[in-house]
């Protein structure tokens, strides 16, 4: 296989069962901000679920997650541009990310436990050097014709990681 440039997206699901400090902080802060943001699209709290609010207002479906993401910005910054759930097979290298977005998967106005979100991390361009079974052989650098070695790592595939961009080098 010839090396190709790829970008990946990694989805981290966070809900009431999440136990890490990062996840708990994001979950709590995002829920509080979500409740504030949906007020503009749900006068009188007539609608009780996120699904109902999205159906009632197309604008809510776009604006609320976008604005809710600001509430977890400092938590995301603390990651140092590394995806906390995407490690190489040796548990030495974390996949880098260059941007993120959040998705509200489910929520109820008066039930914190119902709040479920996803953080979707997008990597910068990586070099896919090859595949072996369910593993991708990657590098943050591009092989040079001089034959100089480049650092590489292997990442196992799973349902919450996908290649979203592919370009021949």
pLDDT at residue 169 tops 90: no
| Cα distance between the two ends of the chain | 12
Question: Which among 121, 122, 110, 113 is positioned nearest to 24, based on CA atoms?
Answer: 113
Question: What are the beta bridge partners of residue 96?
Answer: 82
pLDDT at residue 147 tops 90: no
For residue 145, the model assigns a pLDDT of 73
pLDDT digits (tens, 9 = 90+) for 56-85: 999 999 999 999 999 999 999 999 999 999
Mean pLDDT of the region 118-146: 91
Mean pLDDT of the region 95-120: 97
CB 37 within 8 A of CB 72: no
Mean pLDDT over each residue of the chain, to the nearest integer: 94
Mean pLDDT of the region 37-58: 94
For residue 141, the model assigns a pLDDT of 84
Task: Count CA within 13 A, CB hemisphere, residue 34.
Answer: 30
- Cβ neighbours of residue 140 closer than 8 Å, sequence gap 6 or more: 96, 124, 126, 127, 151
For residue 102, the model assigns a pLDDT of 97
Where b means 16+ CB within 10 Å and e means fewer, 71-98 reads bbeebbeebebebbbbbbeeeebbbbbe
For residue 1, the model assigns a pLDDT of 82
For residue 155, the model assigns a pLDDT of 95
């Amino acid at each position: 296989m010839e090396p190709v440039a790829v970008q990946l997206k990694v989805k981290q699901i966070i809900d009431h069962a999440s136990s890490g400090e990062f996840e708990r902080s994001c979950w709590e802060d995002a829920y509080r901000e979500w409740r504030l943001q949906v007020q503009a699209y749900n006068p009188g709290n007539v609608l009780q679920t996120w699904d109902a609010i999205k159906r009632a207002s197309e604008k809510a479906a776009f604006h609320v997650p976008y604005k809710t993401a600001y509430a977890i910005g400092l938590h995301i910054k603390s990651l140092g541009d590394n995806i906390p759930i995407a490690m190489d097979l040796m548990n030495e290298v974390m996949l880098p990310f260059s941007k993120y977005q959040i998705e509200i998967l489910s929520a109820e106005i008066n039930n914190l436990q119902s709040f479920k979100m996803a953080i979707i991390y997008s990597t910068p361009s990586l070099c896919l050097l090859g595949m072996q079974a369910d593993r991708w052989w990657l590098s943050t650098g591009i092989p040079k014709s001089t034959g100089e070695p480049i650092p590489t790592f292997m990442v196992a595939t799973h349902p919450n990681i996908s290649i979203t961009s592919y370009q021949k080098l």
